[in-house]
Amino acid sequence: MLATLLLLAGAVQAAQPGRAAVATPHPSATVAGLETLAQGGNAFDAAVAISAALAVAEPYGSGLGGGGFFLLRQAGEKPVYRFLDARERAPLAAHPRLYVRDGKVDPALSLDGPLAAAIPGLPAALADLAGHYGRLPLADSLTPAIRLARDGISVDRIYRERASWRLSSMRDDRETARLFLDDKGEVPEEFSLLRQPELANTLERMARYGKAGFYSGPTAEKMVEGVNAAGGIWSLRDLADYKTVERQPIRFPLADGRELIGAPPPSAGGIALAQSLAMLQELPWRKADRVQRTHYVVEVLRRAYRDRSLLGDPDFVAIPQTKLLDTDYLKKLASGIDVRRATPSSSLPPSPPLHEGEHTTHFAVIDKDGNAVAATLSINLPFGAAFTVPGTGVLLNDEMDDFATNPEGANAYGLAASQANAVGSGKRPLSSMSPTFIESDQEFTAFGTPGGSRIPSMVLLSVLEYLDGQPVSRWPAVARYHHQYLPDQIEHEPGAFSSSESAELQARGYSLKPLTRNYGNQQVLFWNKAKGSLEAASDPRGLGLSEVLEVEKMK
């Protein structure tokens, strides 16, 4: 569902939007954000409310048992950008051979059950956002989510689809089956009511005690006891030691006075986007027909994704960020692109690709003062590890699978491993989550989507729509295709290319892989400072709702 509201030009000064806008993938989360803004909260309070509401309404995509990245804009004469890393951390007892049994990796161990779960980061992020940046008490911003968890949320078609994909794993855990399946262990009927009273209790403890309400005391004790009783390796110290990390966002100059503000490592997305846009600036992509533009986009993605094996948790490995974003280096990469022919990935220096779960979530919010948040949250695969800690309502992530789980060089999917992203005690796994801003004196935009390793390519295609002057509603709706160096193929949505376009791409040397369904769920914002207008749009592929809040409805 797409809802885009355009405000009248000239209504505000360039320094502030004067109104607020919210774009989320679920109407209940949008309402939670709008409610919080109407009560006098700022964008950071709204981000807390939205994140917590999504934890209730989209248990298949994010939750208190997961983590995420928050890109922040603090308004002012000169905006300040911050990046809050709430990525999950490996338990302290984790080690490179954690998933090796009898000399071979057992892929199920990093996908299902508590051994697949890293230490959650989202609860800490909510407390930190409220405590360091918000105007309202944490309890006020958590109120909508607590209400949703107690009163129930209607099961929709996306919930049913995601649950059907993970049905077997969900049935294997008694608590997950009890909470998220029907009485017969089947996917609940559409419009049936999903109530989560244990999760409401956990949220209420957070509302009362803040971060300590999750990472210590009764909740922490239940988490550790439940995880370890089922074969996990958590400790109370793992929870007590968890902290979010404030990192410097990627800041990369673009043409026409614009600047990209993106996600730094342990996200691979910000660097990939900066590299891709820098290479495209060396190519005549704007004047190209559709096939030629696709050719340019695929070739820059091929080169950007190749560099991802150099990335990992910056607290554990050295990241050659300066080299990867060096102008001369990127010009050299662009100069190696053949104008007419595909570059076989095998002809480029090898670099292992990355596997990630696709089913994360993303939202964006901006308040009347110009504070803004773009956040991508995840528990990895749909319904995470399909393991819910008894007595807490917390469905755990399976983010440990985002590490290179095979120390001998290939992960459970047959993909070569990156030693920079090997399993390690206390490490954060590499991610493609890419909350992104682009700002100039005249405009401010926010982008982001779920989608695993396809996230940077999706964001890139939406950014190109923006740079090409297309309407905001087109940005999240654009047809999607993807190339990630290996496998050497263009994946694309059904109908993304006509038969003649497909034939021409194949004639250029590309292998095309049509997918059976659409993917991604992008949420975007656009503040035109010069015209005094504000717009928000949600991906038509999902059930999202984007709205603009009038000044008179805010305190």
d(CA 244, CA 125): 6
pTM of the model: 0.94
Domain count within the chain: 2
Residue 497 in domain: yes
Domain span at residue 414 reads 20-247+360-421
Are 471 and 513 in the same domain?
yes
Q: Is 360 a catalytic residue?
A: yes
Rounded average pLDDT over 216-231: 98
Residue 329 in domain: yes
Q: What band does 14 get if pLDDT is binned at 50, 70 and 90?
A: low
Query: Which of 421, 455, 471 represents a domain boundary (last residue)?
Result: 421
Are 60 and 183 in the same domain?
yes
Rounded average pLDDT over 276-300: 97
Name the token pair of 232.
Answer: 């996990």
Are 348 and 371 in the same domain?
no
Which pLDDT does position 349 carry in this prediction?
72
Q: Tell me: the pLDDT tens digits for 79-101?
A: 999 999 999 999 999 999 999 99
Residue 428 in domain: no
Are 131 and 182 in the same domain?
yes
Q: Tell me: the pLDDT tens digits for 22-52?
A: 999 999 999 999 999 999 999 999 999 999 9
Are 352 and 364 in the same domain?
no
The structure tokens 């769920």 sit at 521
Kindly report whether the peptide bond that precedes residue 25 is cis, defined as omega within 30 degrees of 0. no
Are 149 and 202 in the same domain?
yes
Q: Which of 143, 360, 388, 449 is catalytic?
A: 360
For residue 446, what are the β-bridge partners?
437, 525
Is residue 179 pLDDT above 70, yes or no? yes
d(CA 74, CA 174): 44
d(CA 54, CA 157): 16
Is residue 414 pLDDT above 50, yes or no? no
Are 153 and 277 in the same domain?
no
CB 435 within 8 A of CB 86: no
Residue 260 in domain: yes
Q: CATH number, domain at 346?
A: 3.60.20.40
Are 403 and 513 in the same domain?
no
Rounded average pLDDT over 202-227: 98
Strand, coil or helix: what is 93?
A: coil
Are 478 and 495 in the same domain?
yes
CB 436 within 8 A of CB 457: no
For residue 388, what are the β-bridge partners?
395
